[in-house]
Amino acid sequence: MASSSPSTAGREAATVDDRSPRRMTWAFDLDGCLVDSLTATSLRPLAQEILERLSAAEHTVVLWSAGGDEHARRVAASHGVSDLVDAFYDKGGRDGWGRWLVEHLDAGHRPDVCVDDRPEETPSGVSVIGVSPYIAPDGHDTGLRPVLEAVRRAVDPRHAA
């Protein structure tokens, strides 16, 4: 979901470079983004397909959560997608603007792209794909559709519009 705050204006509109064949690191927020924020028992529609496509194309996939790395690992395992994820992290600290910091991530796990239901909190200097919050199980949810389109472009530039 796009934020209209002055400090984040335009950040949500950042796009993935459709022409670059290089492998990127994609960091996904967990709760409210890939799984429902109430119980974490529902994997959001399209989440598995997105993770499968990125994994198959050998992009690096990082799952991070304010609930911690072990929470992220447990939830991913409970949904059968942990084998599609390269690393799990706690979100850690924030900068003076309230954005998450990435210095605690291994260098190869620092994101090029962040997918989050709170795009205004994503680290500076990365492409951001903001999604609407996934609150409760909803088989008709389409909040990850823009992410799937970005992944298609990143994996196969012929999908660029």
Is residue 156, in this structure, part of any structural domain at all?
Answer: no
Is residue 106, in this structure, part of any structural domain at all?
Answer: yes
How far apart are alpha carbons 152 and 59 in whole angstroms? 12
CATH code of the domain covering residue 82: 3.40.50.1000
Mean predicted confidence (pLDDT) in 25-53: 97
Angle of CA points 117, 123, 124, to nearest 5°? 120
46 HSE (CA, 13 A, CB side): 16
Angle of helix 145-155 versus helix 47-56 axis, rounded to 10: 10
Tens digits of residue pLDDT in 87-131: 999 998 999 999 999 999 999 999 999 999 999 999 999 999 999
Of the two residues 44 and 8, the one the predictor is more confident about is 44
Is residue 89, in this structure, part of any structural domain at all?
Answer: yes
How far apart are alpha carbons 124 and 50 in whole angstroms? 23
Q: Give pLDDT, residue 158.
A: 75
Q: Give pLDDT, residue 112.
A: 96
Query: Count of domains in the chain?
Result: 1
Q: Give pLDDT, residue 161.
A: 55
Domain span at residue 36 reads 23-128
Q: What is the mean pLDDT of the chain?
A: 88
Tens digits of residue pLDDT in 47-70: 999 999 999 999 999 999 999 999
Residue 3 has pLDDT above 90, yes or no: no
Of the two residues 96 and 18, the one the predictor is more confident about is 96
Of the two residues 42 and 159, the one the predictor is more confident about is 42
Is residue 110, in this structure, part of any structural domain at all?
Answer: yes
4 HSE (CA, 13 A, CB side): 0
Is residue 99, in this structure, part of any structural domain at all?
Answer: yes
Is residue 88, in this structure, part of any structural domain at all?
Answer: yes
Q: Which of 57, 59, 37, 35 minimizes the C-alpha distance to 45?
A: 35
Is residue 144, in this structure, part of any structural domain at all?
Answer: no
Residue 15 has pLDDT above 80, yes or no: no
Q: Give pLDDT, residue 53.
A: 97
Alpha helices in the chain (DSSP H): 47-56, 69-78, 145-155
Residue given tokens 């690992």 in the structure block: 73
Is residue 61, in this structure, part of any structural domain at all?
Answer: yes
